[in-house]
Amino acid sequence: EVGPFKIIVHHTPGHSAGSVCLEIGGHLFSGDTLFKQNVGNTDNYKSNPRDLIISLKHILTLSKDLIVEPGHKESTTLKDEEEF
């Protein structure tokens, strides 16, 4: 916990081996794992497409009300991304 915030760290390898998503107060800070209608690329030497699929499946088990705050571009919701 940091002040009034509980931080849940989700290990989400795929884009890179050390990728994480941070769940804080109804938001999921997804870095380069998940974007609006897109996912992180896996075309660099540190990435693993199989790991990314496993990570995305894990993310989709989280609350559909989470607001996804990606590392690039606009926010979305987990519900909208599940439908995509």
Model pLDDT for residues 10-46, shown as the tens digit of each residue: 999 999 999 999 999 999 999 999 999 999 999 999 9
Q: What is the pLDDT of residue 84?
A: 83
What pTM was computed for the model?
0.93
Residue 67 β-bridge partners: 27, 77
55 CA to centre of own chain = 8
What kind of fold does domain 7-83 have according to CATH?
A: Metallo-beta-lactamase; Chain A (3.60.15)
